[in-house]
Chain A
Amino acid sequence: MRVLIVEDEQSLATEIETALQKNHFLCDTAHSAKEALDRTDTGSYDFILLDIGLPDKDGFWLLQEIRKDHSETVIIMLTARGEVEDRIRGLDMGADDYLAKPFSLLELQSRMQAIIRRKFKLHDQQLTLGAFTIHVKNRTIHYEETEIFLSRKEFDLLNYLLLHKNRPLSRMQLSDHLWGDNADDEYDSNYIDVHIKNIRKKLNAYADTEWLETIRGIGYKIRTDA
């Protein structure tokens, strides 16, 4: 997948690029609206990450310009302003999603993954985890024909680990995702352990969960071979 990162802050652009390249995205960067238009005129992108605060042009204007010729491209707005009306305005103008700075790279990748799933109808996909099958859209997990009941947070946690499978996620990253801005550092990070314990307990009643690994001192990871 090709991604264009439009961000005037060079070092931030580089970090985003580094993170995405590790996930096998092909990245180009543009540091101004003009550069961004040059890029989109010559190449086609699956994703454009668009910073609203550009030095030469208003990000909203650029958004409209790009949308004119690229209706299929997924555009995610990035902004430090985070004002509510900006969010609404951006989505109205055809942005697919919106992330307020400072965002975590993990969250950015999750959003991108979610959009990819939606776009390529991977939504309905059944995923296999050991002896369990997960239906992401219906938010259910089955062992053979039996549905196992997980609480909302428990399912979110499992789903998030699965989305970033084979990658260790720290307790803080997980609690950030589950509780967002309301996350209470120490407290919720530790509470992730309780959730994991509950998930293991519920699933272990049916089959083993060795695919859900504890990374000592850091957090957890889901290991799959697929």
Chain B
Amino acid sequence: MRLYTKLTLFAVAATIVVLGLFVWQLPLLMQKIASGNTNKNLIQQREKALSAIQKNGIDYYFQGDSAYGSYSMLKDEYISLEPYYTGADLTRLQTAERIIDGDTINYRILIDTFAMQQHVYLLEIGKKITSIQEDSVALQRATISVLIVLTLIMALIQLFYTRYLLKPLASIIRNRLIKKSFPFREPQRALTTSTYDFRYLDDSIAQLMQQVNHAFEKEKEFTSNASHELMTPISIMQSKIENMLTDPELPAGTVLKLEDTMRIMKRLKKVVNALLLISRIENEQYNRNDVVAVKSMIREVLEELQHRADEKALTVEERLTDGVILYHVNRDLLFQLFYNLIHNAIRYNRPNGRIIISDRYVNQEYLLCIEDTGIGIEAPQHERIFDRFKKSTSQREGFGLGLSIVKSIADYQRIGITLHSEPDRGSQFELHFPATHLTK
């Protein structure tokens, strides 16, 4: 999951959780506030009532009755006053039912006793509970709406800011990491951001890339130099022997020895050449713009190798589709690829064996298959045959580079290779040409 998605999801989830918690706890909270408020209110009203009683005198309220009571028209509030005889001082807040005019109503009540003119009186001030609750519900609704709007705004701000903040990271990923194929050729522009971490990351990656490039260039240079250094002495030796061989006075024995030396030198030259070829392919020194007609190229290869197939009395069956054209390949490399595979099919075949070269289309891929009836390759070796200088135990000759070259060429041109092989039954190399090789 992308960082931005994760952060977004987290922001949304956190907001929902916090909001939910708040909404869940809100009625309780509101009730607490409302009841606290009511209590305060009732206490204030008691003060007012007491001061009024003080001012007007108690008899003003009783007017000969034994108690005094008054309530508002909707019975939201009431006040009652009566003499109190039971002795103990009593001040408390409570919620209780009262019957007023035949209606039983829940009130929040302040009960207080006070003394006046040697008598103790009981004062009750009540406030209707439903009216408190109604107030609180209205308040809750308003609070929730405001809160939701605020949360949404916050979330949006957060999302946009996260996005803005992460932009440099996205650009690092896009420019430095995705679509980067080695070697990194184009010069890199430094990232413009005020976030230190991203700048550090970007600088570090750029530095790493530079180091890799540098190492790569060094290696390329080394290959080039090494080849020069190796090829020149080989060249001189070869020329010297060649000149010696033109001497007609030379005894036959010496000639043969010189020929042998030449042969060994040729082997040396072949190994160096093969290594150079692989290194050149890996350094991408070959173009990939050639157009190749498969059938005629395979025929060319077969012609080159015909004499070897004849000597082993092999039957070569070429069953290729007419007119298959491959694009975006390198002619020379492709020739080498076919050559090495067919050469192996001949070299490791049994006398009177067969070689079948066929093709087909599978899932928009062009499949070319080279099959032989040779010694085959044991399953544990399948992975290793493309490695340099590795020889299978049954392989008696070769430089161990032929299939490495095949692999390098195939990789370079994005051609897939699969191998099916059984010892003593034969091997089958399949080349997979993706759709990109089938269109211009």
Instruction: Mark A residues whose CB is within 8 Å of B.
Output: 9, 11-12, 15-16, 18-19, 22, 53, 80-85, 101-106, 152-153, 167, 170, 172, 176, 179, 181-187, 191, 194-195, 216-218
User: Are B311's CB and A191's CB within 8 A?
Assistant: yes
Task: Identify the closest chain A residue to B253 (Cβ).
Answer: A217
Most A CB within 10 A of own CB, among B266, B270, B286: B266
Contact with A along B238-260 (1 / 0, CB 8 A): 11101101100000100110010
Q: Chain A contacts of B224 at CB under 8 A?
A: 81, 83
Task: Identify the closest chain B residue to A107 (Cβ).
Answer: B242
B302-347 with Cβ < 8 A to chain A? 303-304, 307-308, 311, 332, 339, 343
Task: Identify the closest chain A residue to B336 (Cβ).
Answer: A182
- Docked complex Cα distance between A93 and B307 (Å): 39
User: Are B285's CB and A15's CB within 8 A?
Assistant: no
Given contacts A105-B243, A185-B267, contact A80 B252 (CB under 8 A): no
B: number of interface residues (CB 8 Å): 39
- Docked complex Cα distance between A152 and B242 (Å): 26
Given contacts A22-B246, A217-B256, contact A191 B307 (CB under 8 A): yes
User: Are A15's CB and B259's CB within 8 A?
Assistant: no
Most A CB within 10 A of own CB, among B234, B235, B259, B308: B235
Interface pairs (16), CB distance under 8 Å: A9-B232, A9-B235, A12-B235, A12-B236, A15-B243, A19-B243, A80-B228, A81-B224, A84-B287, A101-B234, A105-B239, A105-B242, A172-B266, A194-B307, A218-B252, A218-B256
> How far apart are B430's CB and chain A's nearest CB, in angstroms?
23
Q: Chain A contacts of B420 at CB under 8 A?
A: none
User: Are B276's CB and A102's CB within 8 A?
Assistant: no
A-B contact count (CB 8 A): 100
Q: Tell whether B298 is near chain A: CB-to-CB under 8 Å.
A: no
Given contacts A80-B227, A84-B285, A185-B267, contact A170 B235 (CB under 8 A): no
Given contacts A102-B238, A103-B235, contact A170 B243 (CB under 8 A): no
- Given A18, A101, A181, A194, which contacts B243 in the complex, CB threshold below 8 Å? A18
Q: Chain A contacts of B231 at CB under 8 A?
A: 80, 82, 101-102
> How far apart are A198's CB and chain B's nearest CB, in angstroms?
10
B255-275 with Cβ < 8 A to chain A? 255-256, 259, 262-263, 266-267, 269-270, 273
> How far apart are B413's CB and chain A's nearest CB, in angstroms?
15
Q: Tell whether B280 is near chain A: CB-to-CB under 8 Å.
A: yes
Given contacts A12-B236, A153-B307, 19 further A-B contacts (CB under 8 A): A9-B235, A12-B232, A19-B239, A53-B228, A80-B228, A81-B228, A82-B231, A82-B276, A83-B224, A84-B285, A101-B232, A102-B235, A104-B242, A106-B242, A167-B246, A194-B307, A195-B307, A218-B252, A218-B259
Task: Identify the closest chain B residue to A52 (Cβ).
Answer: B228
Task: Identify the closest chain A residue to B303 (Cβ).
Answer: A152
Interface residues of chain B: helix, strand, loop or mixed (majority): helix
Q: Chain B contacts of A104 at CB under 8 A?
A: 238-239, 242
> How far apart are B236's CB and chain A's nearest CB, in angstroms?
5
> How far apart are A200's CB and chain B's nearest CB, in angstroms?
16
Q: Chain A contacts of B228 at CB under 8 A?
A: 53, 80-81
Q: Chain B contacts of A12 at CB under 8 A?
A: 232, 235-236, 239
- Docked complex Cα distance between A93 and B263 (Å): 35
User: Are B252's CB and A217's CB within 8 A?
Assistant: yes
- Docked complex Cα distance between A217 and B255 (Å): 9
B167-185 with Cβ < 8 A to chain A? none
Q: Chain A contacts of B246 at CB under 8 A?
A: 19, 22, 167
Contact with A along B22-63 (1 / 0, CB 8 A): 000000000000000000000000000000000000000000
> How far apart are A84's CB and chain B's nearest CB, in angstroms?
6
- Given A15, A22, A185, which contacts B263 in the complex, CB threshold below 8 Å? A185
- Docked complex Cα distance between A19 and B235 (Å): 14
> How far apart are A151's CB and chain B's nearest CB, in angstroms?
8
- Docked complex Cα distance between A82 and B272 (Å): 12
Which 8 interchain pairs have the tightest Cβ spacing? A15-B239, A102-B235, A80-B231, A80-B228, A101-B235, A102-B234, A105-B242, A101-B231
- Docked complex Cα distance between A18 and B238 (Å): 13
- Given B256, B280, B307, which contacts A84 in the complex, CB threshold below 8 Å? B280
User: Are B256's CB and A181's CB within 8 A?
Assistant: no
> How far apart are A110's CB and chain B's nearest CB, in angstroms?
13
B213-235 with Cβ < 8 A to chain A? 224, 227-228, 231-232, 234-235
